[in-house]
């Protein structure tokens, strides 16, 4: 039983054992396994490829989608109706001096307006070419300033050239369907110091901007008597050039005339076209005087670029007509614009009729000015009041209407792209140097303008918010159109959507709310509530954009984005987005920074958001909660109080041991030096940075005080008032300096080519906030009330007296003032926020 039997196999078949069968079975299984592993590998590879392709195309789609967000406008209804600036809706504001970049000109508030303007030049002077047109500091005029301008119906400007003065006046008359009529009057007088009456050429022009037509009407061979034209916004119109006279009632003066009729590819080319058309072949031949050749417009000859293939300008060329009149001072000329739809005009707005209208408007202006600002009742002299009227008028005369595309870029765009076309009605900081809209400047501008004309403020703010994209970002510098771009260096043109600017428009909104509560029955403030209702959806997005994109490393802290990254070339990398440019921040930019000024802007903004939401019946609790958190003085102390400095401070990766040193360039022996790079000034860091308070005492340190975040009984207020009043730190006889004299970077250059900007000079916008805050703390019960009231009186007096004195001495209101001498410096005229001096005079805060 237990023995194994032996099998007998016959034939040639090999013996077949069970042991041999099992490996065969296993081999069959192994053969089946191999293709399964291969297939699995193939399937996984295919799956990964499909997934990668899906992810690749999804990434492309997302990048494409995200790249478009920067140029996707906000989806909520516009704050302002698309027709809000038309003659049908707003006839009284349709025409205006909305070309702040030229010495004198007018246009309508429409995208492709027919523009009018004036150039001039002195004949027979030592200067070969002295054509004046766009406002240029290099023209070295002794002054140009609107003496009176109501922002609506009239303006009077005085331009003082070397040995003569031009007074430009305009008056509007509403009528018809296209904005009505207007008249210019140009009066030229020689200065008493001039050895003989100068001969001047006034060059008046009209230019279409890609639509509309202009036709010339001649008399006496070379004299252009009038232009007739047509455009969509203006209908039919006529511009009449009257002959020069000595005075309103006197006879015609001898004059020589020239004209030019040509085409222009763009408004930024007008000056060049006139320059290239000038010719000396004309003879000035007065009845009693010698014959002399003078410069006059002739045939325009476009420049030819030899050996250079210059691409043709693709833009549509438009009509451009020039009328030149050459006459000896003194004289007066009037230019009359008449709308074809003004059928029932009582008379022409010229001569004595214009004079009567001007006198009536001037009287109304004076009454309104005193009613609003009350400077006479405060005891100011007539010379100070005249200065204050000019400061306000220059801001009103600096209102511009711009249309075009910004150039923008986000991190998802490889190259800059064009923003959607849009319009902007805004004040400008400086007609010569910054003739365009700046976001943080505009909030300060509207503090003054809202006192004069709340409707103008509502329209300006509405225009800014209608430029917002879907993210809630508003480009901080508005460079709209070719004419605006022609005045801006290339490195400043592109606007990046991670970069903010101080949200000062909240200051203007705070003023409008205050007017609504105090004068709710007045017609001027009644439209504010519906305006805020239209604004609110965009306002919420704007605030949220700040509160999410500009957050800091710690809860409830904030950090400006957009600091300069090339730390090797900057003594202290600039923070242009903060508005304070080269003010000292952490020496080594990093994500660890906390900026005290931005914290305070957010505290202010959240409180105003809560007020507006509550006023509109919208949910306001979250804004109120955030406001309470951000204005908590304990939080502010924890994040920003430096015990070492006894002041509020930024925090970041910082060292004070830096300087600019000339880099060493190795020149091999015997090699000429000029073949090697010029040795630059570069930053030398003598001690490694570390996370610490920046400890730069200046404007940034004051922000918890400036924006009234500090409680009246805060012990920190005592330190601030003491530092403000210390002549070795911030105090000067001309206002508060921007950086303490004790700071290592006080009046230090930031690069080889960048002189100190916010490192010592006196700036009026921050001084206005300081005077405003002193007024608040000086009228609020607390241990420092009396001290604040005393400093208020001194500081207010110092600022007013110095800005006035410099205006009288130099003819200009300036961008900033020297902290040692009080002398005006920087851009001029700077009748943006420096005009806030008027509010300090009126004590309107």
- Give catalytic residue positions: 581, 815
- Quote the tokens at residue 603: 């505290």
Phi then psi for residue 65, to 5 deg, are -65, -45
Q: How many CB atoms are closer than 10 A to CB 24? A: 9
d(CA 212, CA 264): 13
Q: Which residues pair with 307 in a beta bridge?
A: none
User: For residues 141 and 149, what is the distance between their CA atoms, to the nearest angstrom?
Assistant: 21
- Exposure class string for 710-736: b at 16+ Cβ within 10 A, else e: bebebebbebbbebbbeeebbbbbbbb
Helical segments of 347-490, H only: 351-373, 382-397, 439-452, 454-465, 481-485
Using CA atoms, how far apart are residues 61 and 59, in angstroms rounded to an integer? 5
3-state secondary structure at position 66: helix
> How many whole angstroms separate alpha carbon 597 and alpha carbon 758?
14
Tokens 């921040």 correspond to 585
Estimate to the nearest angstrom the gap between the alpha carbon of 208 and the chain centroid.
Answer: 26
Distances (CA, A) of 789 to 86, 492, 532: 48, 42, 35
Rg (CA), the chain: 35
CA pair distance 375, 707, nearest whole angstrom: 26
Place of tokens 């958001």: 609
DSSP letter, residue 23: H
For residue 321, the SS3 value is strand
Query: Minimal CA–CA distance to 325: which of 222, 217, 232?
Result: 222
What's the rounded Cα separation, in Å, for the pair 659 and 647?
24
Q: 95-96 and 105-108: which strand pairing?
A: antiparallel
Maximal C-alpha separation, the chain: 159
- Distance, first Cα to last Cα, the chain: 121
Contact 325, 255 (CB under 8 A): yes
Count of residues for the chain? 845
């Amino acid at each position: 039983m237990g023995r194994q039997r032996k099998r007998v196999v016959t034939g040639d078949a090999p013996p077949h054992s069970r042991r041999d069968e099992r490996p065969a079975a296993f081999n069959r299984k192994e053969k089946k396994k191999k293709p399964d592993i291969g297939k699995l590998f193939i399937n996984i590879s295919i799956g990964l490829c499909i997934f990668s392709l899906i992810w690749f195309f999804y990434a492309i789609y997302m990048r494409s989608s995200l790249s478009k967000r920067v140029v996707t406008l906000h989806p909520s209804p516009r704050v302002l109706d698309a027709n809000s600036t038309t003659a049908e809706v707003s006839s009284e504001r349709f025409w205006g001096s909305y070309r702040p970049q030229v010495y004198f000109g007018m246009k309508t508030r429409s995208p492709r307006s027919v523009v009018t303007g004036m150039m001039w030049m002195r004949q027979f002077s030592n200067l070969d070419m002295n054509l004046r047109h766009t406002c240029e500091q290099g023209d070295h005029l002794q002054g140009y300033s609107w003496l009176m301008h109501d922002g609506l119906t009239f303006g009077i400007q005085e331009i003082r050239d070397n040995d003569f003065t031009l007074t430009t006046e305009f008056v509007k008359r509403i009528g018809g369907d296209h904005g009505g009529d207007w008249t210019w009057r140009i009066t030229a007088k020689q200065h008493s110091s001039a050895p003989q009456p100068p001969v001047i050429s006034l060059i008046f022009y009209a230019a279409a901007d890609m639509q509309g037509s202009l036709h010339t009407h001649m008399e006496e061979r070379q004299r252009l008597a009038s232009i007739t034209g047509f455009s969509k916004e203006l209908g039919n119109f006529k511009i009449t050039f009257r002959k020069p006279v000595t005075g309103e009632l006197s006879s015609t003066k001898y004059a020589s005339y020239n004209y030019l009729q040509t085409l222009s590819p763009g408004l930024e080319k007008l000056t060049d076209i006139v320059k290239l058309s000038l010719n000396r072949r004309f003879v000035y031949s007065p009845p009693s005087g010698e014959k002399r050749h003078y410069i006059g417009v002739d045939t325009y000859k476009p420049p030819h670029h030899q050996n250079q293939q210059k691409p043709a300008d693709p833009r549509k060329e438009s009509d451009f007509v020039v009328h030149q009149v050459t006459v000896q001072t003194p004289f007066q000329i009037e230019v009359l614009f008449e709308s074809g739809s003004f059928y029932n005009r009582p008379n022409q707005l010229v001569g004595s009729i214009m004079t009567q209208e001007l006198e009536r408007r001037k009287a109304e202006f004076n009454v309104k000015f005193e009613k609003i600002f009350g400077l006479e009742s405060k005891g100011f002299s007539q010379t100070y009041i005249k200065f204050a009227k000019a400061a306000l008028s220059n801001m009103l005369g600096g209102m511009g209407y711009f249309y075009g595309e910004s150039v923008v870029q986000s991190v998802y765009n490889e190259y800059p792209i064009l923003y959607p076309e849009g319009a902007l009605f805004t004040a400008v900081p400086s007609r010569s140097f910054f003739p365009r809209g700046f976001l943080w400047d505009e909030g300060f501008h509207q503090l003054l303008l809202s006192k004069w004309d709340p409707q103008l403020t509502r329209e300006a703010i509405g225009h800014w918010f209608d430029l917002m994209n879907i993210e809630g970002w508003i480009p901080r510098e508005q460079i709209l159109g070719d004419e605006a771009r022609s005045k801006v260096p290339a490195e400043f043109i592109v606007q990046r959507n991670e970069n903010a600017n101080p949200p000062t428009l909240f200051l203007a909104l705070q003023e409008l709310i205050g007017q609504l509560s105090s004068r709710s029955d007045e017609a001027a403030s009644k439209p504010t509530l519906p305006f805020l209702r239209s604004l609110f959806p965009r306002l919420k997005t704007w605030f949220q954009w700040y509160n999410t994109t500009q957050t800091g490393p710690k809860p409830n802290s904030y950090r400006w984005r957009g600091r300069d990254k090339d730390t090797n070339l900057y003594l202290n990398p600039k923070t242009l987005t903060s508005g304070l440019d080269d003010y000292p921040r952490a020496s080594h930019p990093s994500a660890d920074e906390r900026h005290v000024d931005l914290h305070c802007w957010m505290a202010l903004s959240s409180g105003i958001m809560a007020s507006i939401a509550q006023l509109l019946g919208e949910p306001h609790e979250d804004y109120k909660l955030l406001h309470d958190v951000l204005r908590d003085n304990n939080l502010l102390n924890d994040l920003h109080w430096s015990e070492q400095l006894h002041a509020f401070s930024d925090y970041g990766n910082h060292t004070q041991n830096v300087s600019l040193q000339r880099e060493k360039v190795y020149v091999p022996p015997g090699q000429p030096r000029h073949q090697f790079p010029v040795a630059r000034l570069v930053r030398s860091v003598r001690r490694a940075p570390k996370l610490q308070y920046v400890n730069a005492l200046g404007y940034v340190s004051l922000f918890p005080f400036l924006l009234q975040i500090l409680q009246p009984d805060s012990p920190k207020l005592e330190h601030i008032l003491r530092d403000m009043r210390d002549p070795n730190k911030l105090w000067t006889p001309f206002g508060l300096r921007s950086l303490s004299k004790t700071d290592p970077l006080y009046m230090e250059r930031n690069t080889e080519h960048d002189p100190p900007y916010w490192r010592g000079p006196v700036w009026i916008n921050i001084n206005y906030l300081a005077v405003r805050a002193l007024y608040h703390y000086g009228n609020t019960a607390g241990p420092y009330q009396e001290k604040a009231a005393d400093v208020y009186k001194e500081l207010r007096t110092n600022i007013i007296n110095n800005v006035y004195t410099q205006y009288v001495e130099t003819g200009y209101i300036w961008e900033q003032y020297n902290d040692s001498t009080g002398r005006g410096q920087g851009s001029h005229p700077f009748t943006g926020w420096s005009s806030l001096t008027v509010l300090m005079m009126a004590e309107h805060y």
